Structure 1
């Protein structure tokens, strides 16, 4: 009974900020562009430098819960550490009338989900492997800085000029203590690897002709080279999983070279 009541409370309380309202005497709301379990995201016009910015708000229904505020603060801590041109740049945090916000750069482009399902973008097997390699390099940056995205999904990848950009770090974790790093980072790393496998499946399925309504395993539906199938099975934990990014990239490039040699 509590869950329906909670949903009703969120529906009533989590009203998005109206267009044209100004936040922090600087960010004029243009539109709401996304919602998640913990946040509401707005495209804004920065009145100081005339640029587009994105402002994320902790859901009003969460703002009186200390644990929820802590999670939002943890997200801000990660955003402050991101120094990569293909990830959002942090511009500052602020509170207003008891609500919590932070501002970041606007990643201009189309998210991968829309590219696949609305724009009907197609990736053949070789293109899928090469595009995944680009995403993996972004994940490598995070892991090298003891950060784990933990929500690598096609809606959280923006494509601009055929380059991927990572967004939405709401579920991301950073490892601070040496003890925690040794005991838990492996699990976090494997979660990101699993998500990479899921993304690769989405890319590969863009060329799959729907012939039957009967759902079959991807191993039966997709006609893949042995190298690609082996990569997927390791990413998804079906066989012995990868232990490093270097191993994944090695196998990816080996699979791509096999395509080139067969031409």
Structure 2
């Protein structure tokens, strides 16, 4: 245990000195001028850049320099660019190109001008009532449905990865996303096919679980505790029966959902119940 702690400490120190963001004003690939750092993740640094050719803002993501010699991390970065290339949705980023120099890896995508839900909730103090929370989930479910129909599973659906602009949702950050690889049934054993199907179901349900957590986050924005004692959400939140059922199935408390059409049916029933109140 002590050795693991030492290795982690060494790695953090190494990353501190190596993963230094690129300076403002630097021009990448003879085209993209760095304006600012807009985000850092576990394996990437994200920059707002000006495209000197089109004069438009772009987002450039860099694989952390500390990970550029790690084949697995490079592979994950390349997998993300591959996933982005398959997307064609107005509420998701467009990838323009990927490039590298001196073994540093980058890709360029569209800039979406909006605040993420985390910023809006915790800094702008934006709140969502039950109906508004369900409407947000409705938009998000449409985006997840689009991905799943393309055999893409986001695997990192969190409020920092959801942008909201003029009440319209945008989904970003596909760094942990997975894409189903076609399997030739003639060259696969029944056991491997079964495992593959189980894996796909697990990825689907991970996205469903994340949807449940997001809905719970939104619902709690209007909650004010009257007691110092923490209680389960089923006791703290006063929700319609349909919303409770939806949450319990998304979170795996009750029978988990197997497909998006089931979620959609329960979501619309919950929304219909709330609309009757207005």
What is the TM-score when the length of structure 1 is the normalising length? 0.97
Please give the per-residue CA displacement for 1:32-55, whole angstroms capped at 9, x wherever unaligned: 111111100000000000000000
Residue matched to 1:70: 75
Which residue matches 1:241? 256
Shift of 1:184: 1.3
DSSP 3-state at the match of 2:53 = coil
Task: Classify the secondary structure of the residue corresponding to 1:170.
Answer: coil
| 1:121 CA displacement | 1.2
Give the whole-Å Cα distance in 2 for the aligned partners of 1:99 and 1:206.
41
Which ranges in structure 1 are unaligned for 5 or more consecutive residues? none
Q: 2:249–2:257: 8 Å Cα contact kept in structure 1?
A: yes
More moved, 49-58 vs 249-258: 249-258
- State how far apart, in whole Å, the 1-side matches of 2:251 and 2:63 are: 32
Matching residue of 1:232: 247
**What is the match of residue 144 of structure 1?**
149
Tell whether the 8 Å contact from 1:33 to 1:42 is kept in structure 2 after alignment.
yes
CA contact (8 A) 2:24 2:35 kept: yes
Once the two structures are superposed, the pairs formed by residues 92-111 of structure 1 within 5 Å of their partners are 92-111=97-116
Match 2:26 to one of 12, 21, 25: 21
Equivalent position to 1:115, from 120, 123, 135: 120
Which residue is equivalent to 2:85?
80
> Which residue pairs with 1:33 in the alignment?
38
Q: Which residue does the alignment assign to 1:204?
A: 219
TM superposition score normalised by structure 2? 0.92
Task: For residues 60-84 of structure 1, give each alpha carbon's deviation from its aligned partner in whole angstroms, at most 9, with x where no partner exists.
Answer: 0000111111111111110111111
Contact 2:157-2:207 within 8 A present in 1 as well: yes
Q: Where does structure 1 differ by over 3 angstroms across 4 or more consecutive aligned residues?
A: 178-181
Deviation at 1:217, TM superposition (A): 1.1
Between the aligned partners of 1:260 and 1:151, the Cα distance in structure 2 is 31
| SS of residue paired to 1:11 | helix
Tell me, in whole angstroms, the C-alpha distance in 1 between the residues paired with 2:57 and 2:41: 21
Tell me, in whole angstroms, the C-alpha distance in 2 between the residues paired with 1:75 and 1:132.
Answer: 24
How far residue 181 of structure 1 moved from its aligned partner, in angstroms, is: 5.0
Larger deviation, residues 212-221 vs 183-192:
212-221
Unaligned stretches of 5+ residues in structure 2: 1-5, 184-192
Shift of 1:258: 1.2
Counterparts of 2:105 and 2:274, CA distance in 1: 50
Instruction: Give per-residue Cα distances to partners, 1:140-178, cap 9 Å, x unaligned.
Output: 000000000000000000001101100000000000124
CA distance in 1, matches of 2:100, 2:28: 9
SS in 2 for 1:92: strand
Contact 2:240 2:273 in 1 (8 A): no
Give the superposed CA RMSD.
1.1
User: Alpha-carbon deviation of 1:210?
Assistant: 2.8
Is the contact made by 1:175 and 1:181 (CA closer than 8 Å) also made in structure 2? no
